[in-house]
Amino acid sequence: MVTLDGSLKESVLNNWREAALSPRERAMLEYAEKLTLEPRAMRRADIEALRAAGLDDRAILQVNLIASYFNYINRVADGLGVGKSQSE
């Protein structure tokens, strides 16, 4: 989601489930959250929910790749202690 609306950005960061999002945006965030927290629980129904929200195969792949990349790079950074103080 690209927005210049600062209040929407804050709303999404605080609790995206309560933010004023379109069904399409909500479906993408639900998918990304499940992929992040429960990757082994992903099923065909998760893809179908994205299709029902209007995403085509290319958009679904993009959502998957972006979420997966952020998950990967965050694990790399966490594993190397990036951003942590010396005392942590």
Cα(88)–Cα(85) distance, integer angstroms: 6
Q: Has residue 87 been placed in a domain?
A: no
Per-residue pLDDT at 9: 81
Q: What is the mean pLDDT of residues 5-14?
A: 81
Dump pLDDT digits (tens) for 13-35: 888 888 889 999 999 999 999 99
For 19, left (φ over 0), alpha (ψ -120 to 50), or beta? beta
Dump pLDDT digits (tens) for 62-77: 999 999 999 999 999 9
Q: Has residue 1 been placed in a domain?
A: no
Dihedral (CA of 19, 21, 25, 27) sign: positive
Q: Has residue 20 been placed in a domain?
A: yes
**Could you tell me the residue range of the domain that residue 14 belongs to?**
6-80
pTM value? 0.81
